[in-house]
Amino acid sequence: MYASSTSFKTPPTGVVAVKKIVVIGGGTGAYTVLRGLKQYTHYLTAIVSMFDSGGSTGKLRDEFGYLPPGDVRRCILALAPETEKTRILRDLLNYRFTKGEGLSQHSFGNLWLTALTDIIGNERGAIDYLSSLFNIKGRVLPVTLDNCHLCAELSDGTQIRGETNIDVPKHDGSLRIQRIFLQPSAHALADCVDAIDTADLVVIGPGDLYTSVLPNILVHGIREALQATHAKKLYVCNVMTKWGETHGFSASDFVREVTSYVGCPLDGVVVNTSTASSVLVDKYAQERAFPVRFDKENITVPVVEADLLNEKEILRHDSFKLAKVLIGL
C-alpha cells in the first residue's frame, strides 16, 4: 500500500555512483555528511541512532511509545533534493512550533513521522513512506526497532540513564564516561547489517561521541558487521569537544574510543586542521566547548588532514569540503 525506499534509485548521467557508502551516526553530524555526499552518489545508506530521549522527540516517545523520530527526520532532510519545488516541504519538515498549548517546541517533522507511524502501523513503514515522498537520494534506516534506553557509567561509578541526561548533564560534566550501554539490549535491523556488509566505504561520525555515534555500535549486529566487512572504515573526528561527553578530549582520544567500541582497526581518521576565529572560539568557551587538539603523534591509524571547517555562526564541518575529501579516498 505504501511506497518503500529500501531499493537504491538509478543515478542520473554524470553522477558518480561507483561507491556504496554507509554513514553511521545521528544528529547534525549525520546531516552534514549526507548533505555533501548526495552530490556524488545515490548509493547512500544512513544508519541512524534511535535513542534520543529529550525535547520534542522525547515527549513524543513518552506519550506514544514509538521510537524517537528526530534524527531520522534530519537524515531525510539531508538526502532530499534541494530545489525550489521542495523548499516548502523542507521548511515544513523543519518547522518548530513556538506557541500553542501542547504544541510549543514540537517539530512538525516529528509530529508528521509520529502520525505516519500511527497510520501505517510501524516506524519502518513511516520512514520509508516519508523518504519516498521526499524522493531522497539514498535510504534512511533506523539502527534498531527495539525500544531501549542509552545509559552511561562515569569515572566515579555514577550511572546515568537516558540519552538526554548524558547529552545535557546535570552531573559534573568534567567526569569522563567510562562506558555506555543499552537497557535492555537491542538488535540491529537486518538491512543495516546487509548495507555494511556490501558497502565500499563506511563513514563513522562526526557527531556527539557517546550520544549520537557510539550508541549505534552497541546494537547487536553492527559491531560484528563492521568487523566482517571489506569496506574501508573511516572515522570523521569532531572539531569541538563537548561538556559532559568529551571534555578535554584530543583527536587521539576520539579515535581510541571509536576503535575500542568497533573492536577492530579503522582504515583512517579524517581530521580538520583549519583554525576557527577567536570570536567563535570564545563564544563556544562560554558553553565549555573547545577546539579538539590535533595530537597526530598519538594517533595509531592513518590520518587524513584537511581544511574542513564551516565557520559561520556555528563551528562544524562543511558538508561539501568533507564530502570531497571522503569521495577522494
For the segment 85-130, what is each residue's pLDDT rounded down to a tens digit? Answer: 778 888 888 888 888 887 777 888 889 999 999 999 999 999 999 9
pLDDT band at 293 (very low <50, low <70, confident <90, very high): very high
For the segment 13-37, what is each residue's pLDDT rounded down to a tens digit? Answer: 444 445 899 999 998 999 999 999 9
For the segment 146-199, what is each residue's pLDDT rounded down to a tens digit? Answer: 999 999 999 999 999 999 999 999 999 999 999 999 999 999 999 999 999 999
**pLDDT for the residue numbered 18:** 54
Q: What residue ranges do the domains of the chain occupy?
A: 21-146+188-328
CATH number of 21-146+188-328: 3.40.190.10, 3.10.450.40, 3.40.50.10680, 3.40.50.10470? Answer: 3.40.50.10680
| pTM of the predicted model as reported, rounded to 2 decimal places | 0.90
For the segment 262-285, what is each residue's pLDDT rounded down to a tens digit? Answer: 999 999 999 999 998 999 999 999
Please state, in angstroms and rounded to a whole number, the distance separating the CA atoms of residues 109 and 29. Answer: 18
